[in-house]
Structure 1
Amino acid sequence: MTVYEHFRPEERVFIDHILDMKERVIERYTPRLTDFLDPRQQRILTSLIGGEDGIRLSLCGGYEHAERKRALLLPPYIEEQGELFRLAYLEVHYPDRFGSITHPELLGSLTGMGVSRDKIGDLLLESGKVQFICTQELASYFALNLTSVGKMRVSCISIKSEDLLHSENKWQEFEGTVSSLRLDTVLSEIYRLPRAKASEAIAHERAKVNWEIVDKRDFDVHAGDCLSLRGFGRSKIISCDGLTKKNKIRIQYGKLK
């Protein structure tokens, strides 16, 4: 049995990257820092390295409830320090009397500047404030070049970590049953849609599993997966709890409030 058998085929490139980092830390005794990882990638990383002798693993996204985090792999003799994560915190100023900025608009503007999503952490939007976290080397680039979000003219300034909005995702939990763990079937249950409509949305690349677009309706989902359907919000599979008497699968899931 190989390590890959525990994960999905499309995750093999990421697994190889982590195993290479692990080998470098062990052989060269030097710290290694990842880009921002989504929660699924963090779970994979922890399962591959979490109990490894000779390596200390630490995750940081800038605040306590951060979703996207950078991982630091340390040899045992190096002390962990916050600055080793090389995070930057920025705030976007705009004339809110003319409108507001949405999460998709902000993300689209940032990645539209030629920056990989892996270099950007959480986007924080609350009570008229707009902030985001990124790798340290991109802070000055965004401060100078982020001048618009959507149709809104904006400016961007660096802030301190203590000035961040400390928001935590709030999930409303539900229970349901599905005939299978196919993506179209699960989305149909969670969002109360006809299965044909869920399948159509998947075919039009409106569905994501663990932050990646999935266009196959028969894609199998698992406990711990984060799902989203454009126009319907985000959800996650909390657990799969066996079969009913009619051979349906019991699932517990959460929907982002």
Structure 2
Amino acid sequence: MNIYQHFRPEEREFIDQVLQWKSYVETKYAPKLTDFLDPREQHILKMLIGDQGDVKYQLFGGYPEVERSRALLLPDYLSVTQDDFQITLFEIDYPSKFVTIEHPQVLGSLMSLGLKRGKFGDILFKEDRIQFFVANEVKDYIQNNLQSIGRASIKLKAIELGNAISSQELWGENELTVSSLRLDTVISGIHHLSRQKSQMFIQQGIVKVNWTLIENSSFECAEGDLISVRGHGRAKIMSIDGKTKKEKWRINVGKQK
């Protein structure tokens, strides 16, 4: 059976990576820790590793409700602790009375350090407090080099994972029936828009799937995808629950409140 046929062509490289991780654990009898994975990557890993083999996996991103998590693949006879995921939580100290810092600024500043997106996890906001998770192997580099965000001078303080602030993101789940899994059709169903309006948003370059700009209206959505439309918020495809008798797709979607 061709395993790639169940996934997107552009996901082939990541599929090969997961299979290499699995092979490493099987042959070396040693655990393998990944970078932070987005929801779609986590879904692919779950599908490929499964629950019945000699290799098991656990996911942890520093906090129970995070979006991005590191995966730990390991032989089924080993146990796991939180420390095994090697995650540091930073809180940003900045002059909050005088400046405002937003999510895109934090993300942009981290990316400007030359790091891969996989080296840091969720960015948490609550009122004027900001925190973010990073992989331990880059924590010193980030602490030494991230000294400003936007116009604000900042300092980073490493704190216990248990002190993570509760994210303000709330997701309201509901079931939709859509005629296809095309991106324009799914956006129309989620946001109650016409297909023409959805296609216009895609053509304007304001639609991202899993943090990647998508300009193809016929792009096929899949379980685990996170879809953002600028000005309309974000939505997750929690599950795809098969077809109705009229050959329409039933999907469960979480929409950011």
Alignment coverage as a number of residue pairs: 256
Tell me how far apart the structure 2 counterparts of residues 2 and 188 of structure 1 sit (CA, whole Å). Answer: 32
How many Å apart are 1:212 and its aligned residue? 2.5
User: Which segment is superposed worse, 28-37 or 143-152?
Assistant: 143-152
Tell me how far apart the structure 2 counterparts of residues 50 and 252 of structure 1 sit (CA, whole Å). Answer: 22
Check whether the contact 2:126–2:168 (CA below 8 A) recurs between aligned residues: no
Aligned to 1:137: 137
How many Å apart are 1:2 and its aligned residue? 1.6
How many Å apart are 1:196 and its aligned residue? 3.2
Tell me how far apart the structure 1 counterparts of residues 250 and 54 of structure 2 sit (CA, whole Å). Answer: 41
| Aligned-residue identity in percent | 44
Aligned pair 1:196/2:208, yes or no? no
Check whether the contact 2:89–2:158 (CA below 8 A) recurs between aligned residues: yes
Check whether the contact 1:89–1:160 (CA below 8 A) recurs between aligned residues: yes
Aligned to 1:42: 42
Equivalences for 1:1-257 in 2 at 5 Å? 1-167=1-167, 169-238=169-238, 239=240, 242-243=243-244, 249=249, 251-257=251-257
Check whether the contact 1:182–1:221 (CA below 8 A) recurs between aligned residues: yes
Check whether the contact 1:92–1:155 (CA below 8 A) recurs between aligned residues: yes
Check whether the contact 2:96–2:128 (CA below 8 A) recurs between aligned residues: yes
Check whether the contact 2:178–2:185 (CA below 8 A) recurs between aligned residues: yes
Cα gap change, 1:192/1:149 in structure 2, threshold over 3 Å: closer, same or farther?
farther
Check whether the contact 1:237–1:252 (CA below 8 A) recurs between aligned residues: yes
SS at match of 2:97: helix
Q: Deviations over 1:45-82 (max 9, x none)?
A: 11211325322311111111121111111124544232
Tell me how far apart the structure 2 counterparts of residues 117 and 61 of structure 1 sit (CA, whole Å). Answer: 14
Check whether the contact 1:65–1:168 (CA below 8 A) recurs between aligned residues: no
How many Å apart are 1:149 and its aligned residue? 1.5
Tell me how far apart the structure 1 counterparts of residues 242 and 57 of structure 2 sit (CA, whole Å). Answer: 31
Root-mean-square deviation (CA, aligned residues, Å) is 2.2
Q: Deviations over 1:141-200 (max 9, x none)?
A: 222221221222221121111221133742123455544322112213322444333223
Check whether the contact 2:40–2:223 (CA below 8 A) recurs between aligned residues: no
SS at match of 1:33: strand
Q: Which amino acid is the alignment partner of residue 96 of structure 2? A: D
Tell me how far apart the structure 1 counterparts of residues 28 and 130 of structure 2 sit (CA, whole Å). Answer: 41
In the alignment, structure 2 segments of 5+ residues that lack a partner are: none
Cα gap change, 1:231/1:171 in structure 2, threshold over 3 Å: closer, same or farther?
same
How many Å apart are 1:214 and its aligned residue? 1.5
Q: Deviations over 1:93-144 (max 9, x none)?
A: 1111123221111111111111111111111111211000011021122222
Tell me how far apart the structure 2 counterparts of residues 177 and 40 of structure 1 sit (CA, whole Å). Answer: 21
Q: Deviations over 1:14-51 (max 9, x none)?
A: 11001011111111112111100111111211121132
Tell me how far apart the structure 1 counterparts of residues 84 and 113 of structure 2 sit (CA, whole Å). Answer: 26
SS at match of 1:58: strand
Cα gap change, 1:253/1:31 in structure 2, threshold over 3 Å: closer, same or farther?
closer
Check whether the contact 2:43–2:224 (CA below 8 A) recurs between aligned residues: no
